[in-house]
Amino acid sequence: MSVRTVLCFGDSNTYGYDPEGVASGTRFRYPFDVRWPGVLQGLLGPEWLIVEEGLCGRTTVHRDPFEGGLCGLDDISVALASAQPIDCVVLMLGTNDMKTCFNLSANDIARGIESLVLAVKRFPWAVGCPSPKVLIVSPPHVGKGVDKVVLSSFGDHSVRVSHEVARSYRVIAEEQTCAFLDAAGVCDPSPVDHIHLTPEGHEALAHAVKGTLEELFRP
């Protein structure tokens, strides 16, 4: 049986950070079958292999001044090499680029996702490993109450930009001939921290990604 491999490269919302669990001191991460890559695996079945590559705090191309090792562009080559052969790379990054310390515009954040797309296209794939398709997922919105969270790295600018990036991401997807999905159209952040997805959000996102992947690989 031929199996399609999908690499999900993202941040804490791909990792499955649990905002309620962290707030209550009971759990840091959702179980695999709650996280959207795990839900996606269950929806697609054994003919697909979902490779989960999420990291809390990961940006597209920027280096966090307070914590190292979170630049997606630095990490993606290792992820690609480890998972190949790959049929599709799902890129869902950009939320951490909205932090106040970066003060980036929507277009600049989109240029970061473009750099990751180009990294996939330029990767030296091994023999028998063709270049995969790419699905760009514009991240969920940042909730308006985020600036009230203790020691939050996000503020009003983050909220505003989170509502603007989908348009810029869509342009990049069209220019780079990638598939596109706006996660903000299918899921909302948790009211606990206004950044991370609820279990219901993970479920909804998984269904949306499933539909997009099936359309992308439709014969």
DSSP state of 69: S
Pairing state between β 88-92 and 4-10: parallel
Pairing state between β 179-182 and 48-54: unpaired
Q: How confident is the model at residue 168 (pLDDT cuts 50, 70, 90)?
A: very high
Looking at residue 1, what is its pLDDT?
Answer: 62
Domain spans of the chain, in order of start: 4-216
CB 99 within 8 A of CB 154: yes
Pairing state between β 48-54 and 133-138: unpaired
- The whole-chain average pLDDT of the chain stands at 97
Question: What CATH code is assigned to 4-216?
Answer: 3.40.50.1110
Q: Which residues contact 140 (CB under 8 A, 6 or more apart)?
A: 13, 95, 162, 183, 184, 187, 188, 189, 197, 201
Q: How many residues does the chain have?
A: 219
Q: How confident is the model at residue 150 (pLDDT cuts 50, 70, 90)?
A: confident
Mean pLDDT of 1-8: 92
Mean pLDDT of 200-213: 98
- Is pLDDT at 202 greater than 70 in this prediction? yes
- Is pLDDT at 44 greater than 80 in this prediction? yes
Count of CB atoms situated within 10 Å of the CB of 143: 22
Helices 106-122 & 165-175 angle (0-180, nearest 10): 30
Looking at residue 219, what is its pLDDT?
Answer: 86
* pTM higher than 0.95: yes
pLDDT tens readout for residues 90-143 = 999 999 999 999 999 999 999 999 999 999 999 999 999 999 999 999 999 999
Q: How confident is the model at residue 151 (pLDDT cuts 50, 70, 90)?
A: confident
